[in-house]
Amino acid sequence: MEQQPLAVIGLGYVGSVTAASLAARGHRVVGIDRRAPVIDAMSRGVAPIPEPGLEERLARAASLQTLELTTDPSALARCRASLVCVGTPVGADGQLVVDDLLAALDEVARFAPRDHVCVIRSTVPPGLYERARRRLARPDVGLALNPEFLREGSAVADLERPELIVFATEDEHAARFCDALYADQSERLRRTDPPTAEVLKLVNNAWHALKVAFANEVARVTLPVGVDPFAVMSLLCADTKLNTSAAYLRPGMPFGGACLVKDVASITTHAAKHAVDAPLFGSILRSNDAHLRFLVDTVLAHRPKAVAIVGVGFKPGAADVRDSAPVRLVHALLDAGLHVTVADSAVLDARVPPLGLDALRAALGDPRAQAAPDVAHAVAGADLVVVGHPCAEDRAALVAAAPKVPVLDTAGELSRKLSEEDRASLAPVVVLASRR
């Protein structure tokens, strides 16, 4: 028996490319769109959008007779799965408008056969997955999210040769469908949970927008002094170890150290001197301060009286405490009335100024903050342990001490660098964002 076709609901930018590409690769596809002119154009092999390679896929699908196009949603009754690709524009209030998406889900709920899988490709706001489950009200229909990362002008290539494919579901039937759909691209396929998938697309595009804004701001601050911004950005992008890699793109402690704070302050001051509006540069330090306040609130949410902070260098394993974020956290917690003890073997082992114990005591600058000789002494009287920027020795010492109080892992040091067995030996390890 021939396998039931896939439905693609919504034949806009994402849907038309998705339907044509799948059909050109031999999948039987039913494209559904309420707009008759779109159905007519695609039926004649005319792309509804100007996208390189799309008409070639439509022609290939026509020769294979694998693409059916209709305005009738009842065609869903013949389909084993539906890929929902309807638009979710932004409204005047800044929120995504999901009316068309919910209407598509209503059609799936009405017409889909048993054991159907509904895969949402549309960009969605946080919380949509649970809302969609309630809207479907069909326990026999599996639901998944499969955010798209297509760029206009290269959408076909992005779909067929992606760097990353993400799906999320709480239904194993839907998971098996997604695994099978992308079986030929399994090395790029990642499964996650629905809330993460919902946020991922929004974060992706915010990141791309940030990069554009950053480059444009570089232009504005360099041109007044006769520097070619293209040359600057070209050289910046040539460093793929730090500048265009995953380095630094990990939530954790605020940035600190002898360079970042002062250099951001310097370029912000330069912009002001030349009357250049550079709000992005100007907001970096404010954002850094906001994250410190977030960490303070996270600590206070546990209502501790005594806190131990393990690792107070400006980055993991560093002996340098100049402009260290963990030290700033110490001061903020002292201001909140807490007793704070710190431990850092890398700092204590350093002998050359401005490093070492004297530098740490000077940085702490408050007799209420104590520098313990080791991790065991630091955590002994604490009712919350905060993991800042520890060296490997201190991570091991923390496991050995096995404090029976919550451990706040601010930068994922424990989850990334300890075994599951070692983590299990500790009391509940609280990840950065868990304040519940």
- Which residues are known catalytic residues? 259
Residue from 166, 130, 129 nearest 148 by CA? 166
**Is-cis flag, bond preceding 354, omega within 30?**
yes
Asked if 389 and 311 count as a contact pair (C-beta separation under 8 A), the reply is: yes
d(Cα 325, Cα 309) in Å, to the nearest integer? 11
Buried b (16+ CB within 10 A) or exposed e, 350-365: beeeebbeebbeebbe
Q: Are strands 429-431 and 384-389 parallel, antiparallel or unpaired?
A: unpaired
Give me 81's structure tokens.
């799965």
Q: Which residues pair with 68 in a beta bridge?
A: 30
The three-state secondary structure class of 30 is strand
Q: Are strands 339-343 and 306-312 parallel, antiparallel or unpaired?
A: parallel
Q: Which residues pair with 29 in a beta bridge?
A: 6, 67
d(Cα 94, Cα 39) in Å, to the nearest integer? 31
Report residue 51 CA to chain centroid gap.
Answer: 28
- ∠ CA 256-260-265, nearest 5°, is 110
d(Cα 395, Cα 49) in Å, to the nearest integer? 55
How many C-beta neighbours within 10 Å does residue 245 have? 10
The three-state secondary structure class of 207 is helix
Q: Which residues pair with 190 in a beta bridge?
A: 166
d(Cα 187, Cα 170) in Å, to the nearest integer? 21
d(Cα 104, Cα 150) in Å, to the nearest integer? 21
